[in-house]
Structure 1
Amino acid sequence: MARLDIAVKGLFPTLVAAVELPDADARNAELAGLILRRREQFPSIQASNAGGWHSDRSITEWGGARVAEVLQVARGIATQLTADRNGEPAHPEWVTQAWANVNGPGDGNICHYHPGACWSGTYYVDDGGCAADPLLGGEFEMLDPRGPGPGMYAPQFKFAGEDGRSVGSGETIRPKPGLLFLFPSWLFHQVRPYRGSALRISLAFNFGIAAGS
């Protein structure tokens, strides 16, 4: 039989966007100082963090120009990734909530999602050495929303093609200073325990949509 021309289309994609921001060294030095001073003054709140320090969610009020700078870029990305039901560009009014995370040795974040938001994301201030040494862990992991996939029946197989490699498991993003990424807020995610001896510092945020947008 002649080779069949099979039409293959990847349905139900999950959009994740990433960009490395310029001027990261100067920005991150300022952000690290600001966040670590805040950590000395205020105790951690308990959210998804398993250990580590989680700031209050009002960093937009005390974070200054550098936090505003990152969030402005992130809102622009969120707008580019959002369309109306006809596929036309949309320009929602974003309601922003943001906070800082500091993870030390053994700290991570348990699997969770972000109710009440449309887009969520993270900006890395300090990776604690994770980018250079994979053994340090600390990866941001997103779990496959398709569930267990073919592993339900035949765990030795996967879907063909690049987008099938992680089916039934997850995809990770390794922290890197200056890296900003966004993902849908409903996507289950976690932070693997950090095994380094320094500090892993990040800025996290949620973008909800204002009523009437």
Structure 2
Amino acid sequence: MPTEIEIHITPIFSTPLLVFTPAHHERINAELSQLILAREASVPSHRDTEVIGWSSPHDLSMMDWAGRPLRELFAPVIEVAKQVTTLSDRCRHAARRPEWEVVEVWANVQRNGGTNAAHSHPGSFWAGVYYVDVGEVCPTLGKGGELQIYDPRGCLPRMLAPYLQYSMTELHDAGTSISYSPAAGQCLLFPGWLFHAVNTYRGTAPRISVAFNLDPVLQQGSLSSAHADAIGGSRR
């Protein structure tokens, strides 16, 4: 007769995907939708080899023409980033929560056939996307437009043993990707190093999103001088 053994399973090396809906998102969406579609109609797309669709420059220029709704959007985004991040033990003030700032923000409009190739956001700790309008994203109708998120460990688990998978629910996606269907008003926050893409969109209504990158506000004394110099030298 088999001996009963108690097993404690602890998933490790987790990757955070934060999903939240800012207050007053209906008003934010209405304002941003009008401003972004007007911009799309009057200004050529920023050249981006990863994107099939319209995109504004990846800088802070969007704050000039869409500043009011963006400021309302980013207030809770900054607060969320602050609540889920602390300084590490290597800093002089370990466990202190750093302040955050938006260092890049850009709008995306995708119509029938639009897509985003797999990419990451180098140089930024937190990256995010806010969905102004998801168009006709519907998994059951095959309209596409889902956010595709890739296992940061790559395909290694599948390459070594494609006929096996872990029996723990948290590890079913090891070596694969996750397809996330967003809703209008949702904001997603994830590490800048996490590879992601947008599946080809097949809807007729425009799919509108705002992507952004966050970096910490480094206050004097919060990091060792050597570490601060290293960060300063690595910025793009």
Query: For the residues of structure 2 that align with 1:89 and 1:156, how far apart are their CA atoms?
Result: 45
User: Quick check: 1:60–1:97 contact (8 Å CA) kept in 2?
Assistant: no
Query: For the residues of structure 2 that align with 1:125 and 1:93, how far apart are their CA atoms?
Result: 22
User: Quick check: 2:82–2:100 contact (8 Å CA) kept in 1?
Assistant: no
Rg larger for:
2
Q: Which residue pairs with 1:170 in the alignment? A: 177
**Root-mean-square deviation (CA), in Å?**
1.9
Query: For the residues of structure 1 that align with 2:100 and 2:30, how far apart are their CA atoms?
Result: 30
Kindly state the Cα deviation for residue 80 of structure 1 after the two structures are TM-superposed. 1.2
| CA deviations over 1:78-128 (Å, ceiling 9, x no partner) | 111111224724123424310100000011101111111110101101111
Which range moved further: 165-174 or 43-52? 43-52
Match of 1:46, SS state, is coil
Q: Which residue pairs with 1:51 in the alignment? A: 52
User: Quick check: 1:48–1:112 contact (8 Å CA) kept in 2?
Assistant: no
User: Quick check: 1:119–1:182 contact (8 Å CA) kept in 2?
Assistant: yes
Give unmatched runs, 5+ long, in structure 2: 223-236
Which range moved further: 66-75 or 124-133? 124-133
Query: For the residues of structure 2 that align with 1:186 and 1:177, how far apart are their CA atoms?
Result: 24
Q: Which residue pairs with 1:117 in the alignment? A: 124
Kindly state the Cα deviation for residue 48 of structure 1 after the two structures are TM-superposed. 5.3
Residues 58-69 of structure 1: matches in 2 within 5 Å? 58-69=61-72
Tell me which of 124, 147, 152 is aligned to 1:145. Answer: 152
Give unmatched runs, 5+ long, in structure 1: none
User: Quick check: 1:80–1:89 contact (8 Å CA) kept in 2?
Assistant: no
Structure 1 counterpart of 2:126, which letter?
W
Q: Which residue pairs with 2:208 in the alignment? A: 201
Kindly state the Cα deviation for residue 175 of structure 1 after the two structures are TM-superposed. 2.3
Query: For the residues of structure 2 that align with 1:125 and 1:48, how far apart are their CA atoms?
Result: 23
Kindly state the Cα deviation for residue 196 of structure 1 after the two structures are TM-superposed. 0.7
Structure 1 counterpart of 2:56, which letter?
S
Q: Which residue pairs with 1:8 in the alignment? A: 9
Query: For the residues of structure 1 that align with 2:140 and 2:25, how far apart are their CA atoms?
Result: 20
User: Quick check: 1:142–1:172 contact (8 Å CA) kept in 2?
Assistant: yes
Which range moved further: 156-165 or 173-182? 156-165
Match of 1:74, SS state, is helix
Q: For the structure 1 residues 51 and 93, does the alpha-carbon distance in structure 2 shift closer, same or farther, using more than 3 Å as the test?
A: closer
| CA deviations over 1:153-195 (Å, ceiling 9, x no partner) | 3213212222112111111221211011100000011111101
Kindly state the Cα deviation for residue 137 of structure 1 after the two structures are TM-superposed. 0.6
User: Quick check: 2:135–2:203 contact (8 Å CA) kept in 1?
Assistant: yes
Query: For the residues of structure 1 that align with 2:22 and 2:49, how far apart are their CA atoms?
Result: 26
Kindly state the Cα deviation for residue 131 of structure 1 after the two structures are TM-superposed. 4.2
User: Quick check: 1:141–1:172 contact (8 Å CA) kept in 2?
Assistant: yes
Q: Which residue pairs with 2:77 in the alignment? A: 74
Query: For the residues of structure 2 that align with 1:3 and 1:145, how far apart are their CA atoms?
Result: 35
Q: Which residue pairs with 1:83 in the alignment? A: 86
